[in-house]
Amino acid sequence: MEMLVYLIPASLFLGGVGLLAFLWALRSRQFEDPEGDGQRFLSDDWDKRPKP
Amino acid sequence: MSASSLSACPACVAAPSAEAIAGARAEKASGIVLSLPTAHCAACISDVERELMRVPGVRSARVNLTLKRVSVEAGPEATPALLVERLGRIGYEAHELDPGLLSVTETDRRGRDLLMRLGVAGFAMMNVMLLSVAVWSGAEAATRDLFHWISAAIALPTLVFAGQPFFSSAWASLKARRLGMDVPISLALILSSAISLYETIEGGEHAYFDAAVSLCFFLLAGRYLDYRSRAAARSAAEELAALEVPRAVRIGADGDETVAIADLRAGELVRVKPGARMPVDGIVTEGASEIDRSLLTGETLPVRVSHGTAVSAGEVNLTGPLVVRVTAAGKDSSLHRMADLVAVAESARNRYTSLADRMARGYSPSVHILALASFIGWMIQSGGDVRLAVNVASAVLIITCPCALALAVPAVVTAASGRLFRRGLLIKDGTALERLAEVDTVVFDKTGTLTMGTPRPVALEQHAEADLRLAAALASGSAHPLSASLSSALAELGIAAAEVADLREVPGEGMEATFAGRRVRLGRADWTGAEARDATATYLDAGDGKPARAFVFADRLRPGAAAAVAALKAGGKRVVLLSGDSAAPVEDMARTLGIEEWRAMVRPEEKAAHVAALTAAGARVLMVGDGLNDTAALAGAHVSISPASALDAARVASDIVLLGQDLLPIADAARLAVTARRRIKQNFALSLAYNVVAVPIALAGLATPLIAALAMSTSSITVSLNALRLR
């Protein structure tokens, strides 16, 4: 049972990282165009060289 | 829409008021925004962006596929008209939007705020649930207390933060002395966390932190979905208002200048190019031309105008350039007076109560009464054990809380409107789908709705080839819609144009040229010496002494019109055709489409009266129309649809807007609406069924936190899955 002292904070920390990642995604407007982003992935326009 | 936001009227949110539009238009816009109703795939994104980047002056172009828009940053040399034309050439329909009207920042912020609360509640729910698993599987004494304390540490701040939308709206409704759905929700959240905290301090067995947090999460999910469909409706309304960028060319002291219509004053002069729509009511002071009044009257025959003729806003100038003295602009113009008619008709329709409203009206009081009854009952039963009685009462509140109920409508509406949007239908009003499901009679307008509003020449093969060649030569020199249509139809037939000399256009009359030493003319009946026919036609005078030949035009059917009418009739609906046009073309159209009931020469008031009469006879009418003459009927019908090419007054008056040219989605929408309503009812039944099972358990004092959590999550998840079954 002593393991709980480490495990609970560890699991809360990992969950918190997930939450922060979500908040970051939200703030950097990654939910503006979900459909377009899903489709853009399929386009091969800039596969050879990066978009200028 | 959602049970928890009863008082708001979706139409008020969706349709911005005229003042708001006028105010927003005054703002200076930056960048260009185009609407792309047909974009749907990865290739579309690349095509559109690549094509736009090729236009000189364009700095950046980015497609938003979710909103079906592209935003372009460009220098002054890349005008919106040029971009629309370039996109049209590669096969994408595009419309210019007024970026000043698309003020998304405020709604955007609210959406992200809700999403953030939802994320926090979701995170807390996962962690508290995990800790609860240990408690449910039999943790005891110190371990259980420790887990309860950790749960409390996560749950309490979460509830304070994530529950705010419910608390503030409950407070607002209490101040207004009403019991909205948010009052029992807030009560359940506060009561359950208070009793759980008390139990934790006392080292008790049951704490409802998990139930309280998941309650909050599911309710927020419902609220977010509801918000999303409202935001989509609002942005749709904004998009429609923004579709028509209202500009006019004013003849000022120092030459022509392009100004917003709102800035025009009576007495000023404006120039109206051929092909442009009249921006204002006025009187022609210079030039001669023909105008198309079909959007206002439904009549397809062009009307001749010259010096001194009065014209009204919304009419289309066909042939020659005109100078018009403004008599009324903006709010005073006839277009806007018509909009007042619409407002009157709309107030009648707003009395519709949605399924969710009817449901909530009975549900909200019964929740309070049940919880109070169980509290009093257990106080008497246990001889004054307050702790036990409060425990039971909060369990009842948690279980009866309208979690699944709050998801029942938004989940279905979101799924259905998403599906319809992909087929090119914009749902402007939240209850439109429900109303569409009740429809049993469909009234169509003819010009511009069942037809494209663009005439095509008919029976060309009856003419002699020499005449056709002459007509091709004359028609090629003019931008008049009839000439352009004749010219392209002849080109399709492979008719080569005859060699003519001195080709010139006589504004308001037609084309004139010299052919083999004779004067030849193509144009109006009286000008070419022909007898005018009772149809849209142009006349050819070949200069050979014989009477002029008439080229008769007929309007083209919209793609999918026949299929849509057939599908609606197959669905058991009564289909009626009402048109302002003359009897012959209307009868012809009705016969082609298989519509038995039709009326011609119907004036706008008569259309509205006809719809009202049908309604009075017990029919639920779906009105499909596009013109100003349909506006009052659109507003008066049970539910209404207009194509995107309609006048903006008509679009504002209707509940659903058809973005593409095809009419077939109307039949799909009618079918989908019926399914959607069935799903909503099933969802209500499902969530009530859960309550019927769980409430007696809670009243008996047997509801443990495990049962509460299970009942709540399974009911919410079944309801959402049921909504997603919608096809």
The number of residues making up chain B comes to 727
Which residue in the set B41, B127, B143 is minimally distant from A12, CB to CB? Answer: B127
Strands of the sheet containing B518-523, edge to edge, are B451-457, B549-557, B537-541, B518-523, B510-515, B501-506
Closest Cα in chain B to A5: B146
Q: Is B445 a catalytic residue?
A: yes
Give whole-number Cα distances, B254 to B249, B268, B321, B469, in Å: 13, 14, 20, 45
B432 and B565 part of one domain = yes
User: Of B123, B154, B224, which to mutate for an interface test with A (greatest number of A Cβ within 10 Å)?
Assistant: B123
Task: Report how far residue B628's alpha carbon sits from residue B623's, in angstroms, rounded to the nearest whole number.
Answer: 13
Specify whether the CB–CB gap between B663 and B561 falls below 8 A: yes
Q: Do B45 and A39 touch (CB under 8 A)?
A: yes
Residues, chain A: 52
Indicate the residue among B673, B692, B718 that finishes a domain. Answer: B673
B42, B66, B119 member nearest A34 (Cβ): B66
8 Å CB contact of B123 and A19: yes
Same domain, B536 and B593: no
DSSP labels, B161-176: HHTHHHHHHHHHHHHT
Cβ-proximal residues to B507 (8 Å cutoff; 6+ apart), any chain: B287, B288, B289, B319, B320, B321
Amino acid identity, residue B282? G
DSSP string, B396-464: HHHHHS-HHHHHHHHHHHHHHHHHHHHTTEEE-STTHHHHHHT--EEEEEIIIIIEEEEEEE--GGGS-
Q: Which residues in B lie closer than 8 A to residue A39 (C-beta atoms)?
A: 41-42, 45, 65
CA distance B508 to chain A (A): 48
Residues 6+ apart with CB under 8 A from B499: B473, B515
Catalytic one of B226, B429, B445, B555: B445
Q: Which residues pair with B74 in a beta bridge?
A: B58
Strand partners, B64: B69
| Chain A residue whose CA is closest to B131 | A8
Mark which of B556, B571, B589 sits at the end of a domain: B556
Place of tokens 């060699």: B499
Classify residue B597: in a domain, yes or no.
yes
Which amino acid is present at B76?
P
Closest residue in A to B109 (Cα–Cα): A27
Give the CATH number of the domain where residue B647 resides. Answer: 3.40.50.1000
**Contact between residue B666 and residue B624 where contact means Cβ atoms under 8 Å apart:** yes
Task: List residues of B whose CB lies inside 8 A of any A CB.
Answer: 41-43, 45-46, 50, 63-67, 112, 115-116, 119-120, 123, 126-127, 130-131, 143, 146, 150, 154
Which residues, other chains included, contact B77 with Cβ-Cβ below 8 Å and sequence gap of 6+? B56, B57
Domain membership flag for residue B150? no
The count of CB pairs under 8 A between chains A and B is 56
DSSP assignment string, B536-574: SEEEEE-SSSSPPEEEEEEEEEPTTHHHHHHHHHHTT-E
B565 and B444, same domain (yes or no)? yes
Q: Encode B288-315 in three state secondary structure.
A: CEEEECHHHHCCCCCEEECCCCEECCCC
pLDDT of residue B342: 56
C-alpha angle B63/B104/B181, rounded to 5°?
125
Q: Are B450 and B557 in contact (CB under 8 A)?
A: yes
- How is the beta sheet containing B425-427 ordered, strand by strand? B425-427, B656-658, B639-643, B621-624, B441-445, B574-578, B597-599
CA distances from B218 to B25, B459, B536 (A): 39, 64, 60
Closest Cβ opposite residue A40 in set B42, B50, B143: B42
Residue B442 lies in a domain: yes
ipTM of the complex: 0.79
The minimal CB distance from A33 to the residues B65, B127, B130 is found for B65
List CB contacts (< 8 A) between B131 and chain A: 8
Average pLDDT, chain A: 82
Indicate which of B52, B64, B129 best probes the interface with A, i.e. most A CBs within 10 Å of its own CB. B64
pLDDT tens digits, one per residue of B94-105: 877 766 555 555
Q: How far B634 CA lies from chain A's nearest CA (Å)?
A: 33
Based on the domain organization, do B586 and B497 belong to the same domain? no
**Angle of helix B665-699 versus helix B386-400 axis, rounded to 10:** 170
Select the residue of B45, B119, B130 nearest A19 (Cβ to Cβ). Answer: B119
Ordered DSSP codes for B34-95: EE-TT--SHHHHHHHHHHHHHSTTEEEEEEETTTTEEEEEE-TTS-HHHHHHHHHHTT---E
Query: Domain range spanning residue B438?
Result: 416-452+559-673
> For residue B236, what are its two tokens?
């749709």
Does residue B581 contact residue B447 with C-beta atoms inside 8 Å? yes
Q: How many whole angstroms separate alpha carbon B124 and alpha carbon B120? A: 6
Does residue B236 contact residue B424 with C-beta atoms inside 8 Å?
A: no
- The amino acid sitting at B445 is D
In angstroms and rounded to an integer, the radius of gyration of the C-alpha atoms of chain B is 32
- The domain spans of chain A are 15-39
Residues B605 and B514 in one domain: no
Which residues touch B441 (CB under 8 Å, ≥6 apart)? Answer: B573, B574, B575, B576, B614, B619, B620, B621, B622
- Contact (CB<8Å) B45/A19: no
Positions of chain B with pLDDT under 70: 1-30, 98-108, 179-180, 230, 232-246, 275, 295-301, 330-353, 402, 479, 508, 534, 647-649, 727
Cβ atoms of B507 and B320 within 8 Å: the answer is yes
Report the number of distinct structural domains present in chain B: 3
CB-based contact A8 B150, cutoff 8 Å: yes
- Long-range contact pairs involving B83-86 (C-beta distance under 8 Å, separation at least 24): B83/B32, B83/B34, B83/B52, B83/B55, B83/B58, B84/B34, B86/B51, B86/B52, B86/B54, B86/B55
Q: Which long-range contacts (CB under 8 A, 24 or more apart) does B341-348 make?
A: B341/B631, B341/B632, B341/B635, B342/B631, B342/B632, B342/B634, B342/B635, B342/B649, B342/B652, B342/B653, B343/B635, B345/B608, B345/B632, B345/B635, B345/B636, B345/B653, B346/B11, B346/B635, B346/B653, B348/B636
Say if CB B538 and CB B551 are below 8 A apart.
yes
Question: What tokens does A44 get?
Answer: 């091969």
**Residue from A3, A8, A41 to probe the interface with B (highest B Cβ count within 10 Å):** A8
Final residue belonging to a domain, choices B330, B345, B360: B345
Residues B573 and B499 reside in one and the same domain: no
Tokens, residue B344 = 């009157």
Please tell me which residue of chain A has the smallest CA distance to B45.
A40
